[in-house]
Amino acid sequence: MREVLPHLPDATYEQLVEKAAAVHKPLEQWIVDLLTADAGTSVHTAESHNMLAAAMDVLGFERLEPEKASRLSALLKSRKELPLESDEAAELQTLMDAANALELASLQRLTAAFGR
């Protein structure tokens, strides 16, 4: 397996996070699913998701708790339909910051572990 580290503009990253959250998947899995999807890959996709999730767990990647991930997904979806109230916008920012902090901390630990 090879590693790819994309550098994305913030707006693009947020769009990808929103799409992944809408289907209740980690961003990484959503990207893998999108890239490997065809009519006959539903079993492969489920297996790939489990394998990727297990690998991320072994590597120490942390994710938002399921309730927070669901709330993040709901807020991102609501934001597409209507402007958020100020308290919802603040909650969305807090959840995005938490998700980004977990991802950054996980990547920093991984980088340190591999001595890069």
Determine the pLDDT at residue 66.
84
pLDDT of residue 94: 95
| Number of domains within the chain | 1
In terms of residue numbers, what domain contains 81?
10-113
The answer to the question of residue 4 being in a domain is no
Q: Give the pLDDT of residue 75.
A: 93
Question: In this predicted structure, what is the pLDDT of residue 23?
Answer: 82
For residues 65 and 99, give the distance between their C-alpha atoms in angstroms, rounded to a whole number.
10
Domain membership flag for residue 83: yes
pLDDT at res. 92 = 94
In whole angstroms, give the CA distance from residue 51 to residue 47: 6
> Which stretches in the chain have pLDDT values below 50?
none
Alpha-carbon span 35 to 64, nearest angstrom? 24
> For residue 4, what pLDDT is reported?
64
Gap between the terminal Cα atoms of the chain: 18
Would you say residue 51 lies in a domain? yes
Q: State residue 51's pLDDT score.
A: 67
CB 91 within 8 A of CB 76: no
**Within a domain: residue 1?**
no
- Note whether 23 and 30 are within 8 A (CB): yes
